[in-house]
Structure formats: structure tokens, C-alpha cells
Amino acid sequence: MILTIKRAILGGVTSCFLAASMVQTVSADEREIIWVSAEEKSVLLAEMRSFLEATHKILEGSLADDMEVIEQAARPVGVKMMRATPKALHEKLPAGFTAIGPKAHRGFEGIADEAVGMGDREEVLQQLAELQKTCIQCHNLYRLEVK
């Protein structure tokens, strides 16, 4: 009984410390702020959601070994989407961000090319894993705020 009470107390204390450290982490957001209008933020977030949706479809296509699904998911968020980014928005973004963005678009384009080329599922997954590092890097470095 006493051991159970001690475990409950320790568990509660541990939970409090974990919660406090999580709050500290969230409140100490040191990512570079990119100041944008509400409309610009909406455009950028929609693009990122498209990346996430494409990633999901690429994974599903890979599990089914369906290269057509992979190509259809990756191609629209590749170079075509990159070229559709408004020039005024592109010029407003910091150099580091504008270096990462095209890398992501080209990563999707490479996946689409692999799907219609050799069609190697393992290569598609390898490229997707590398592409995810690009996404994570960007999200670790930058945050969008409306001005």
C-alpha cells in the first residue's frame, strides 16, 4: 500500500516536471519569425498541407507498390507548385527559407520521376525519408507570424 502511494506521488511529481518542461519548450520558441500577411500565411500553410497530403499518398502508394499513385501524388507539389508561388511572396521570404522550399519541391519531383522511371519502391521511400528531413529542418528553423 505504501509502495503504491509512493509510486502515485512520484508519478504525479514526474508528470508535473514533464508538463513544466513542455510549457517551457513551447514558450521559448526561438525559431526565426517570418512576418507575412494573413493571406500569405494562408498560401504557405496550404502549400505545406499539400506536402503532407502528398507524403501520405506516397506512403500509401509505396505500401501498395503502385507507382501511378506515387507519381500522381508527388508531381503536383513538385516544380509546378514551386513555379506557382507568387513572386512578391518569394522575394519577401528570408534566403534560408527560399533555399529550403525549392529543395522540398525538387524532392517531390524526384520521387515522381522515380515512380515513372525505374519504379523502385525502396528508392521512393529513401527519397521520401530524405525529403522529410528537409521539412523538419524548415519547421525547426522558421515560424510564420501575421503582421
For the chain, which residues make up each domain, given as ranges? 1-30, 31-146
Look at the block and give the residue holding cell 519541391: 105
Which pLDDT does position 101 carry in this prediction? 94
The alpha carbon of 133 is separated from its chain's Cα centroid by a whole number of angstroms, namely 8
pLDDT in tens, 92-131: 999 999 999 999 999 999 999 999 999 999 999 999 999 9
Mean pLDDT of 62-80: 97
- Provide, rounded to the nearest whole percent, the portion of the chain with pLDDT above 90: 78
Please give the CATH topology (third level) of the domain spanning 31-146: Four Helix Bundle (Hemerythrin (Met), subunit A) (1.20.120)
pLDDT, average across residues 79-88: 92
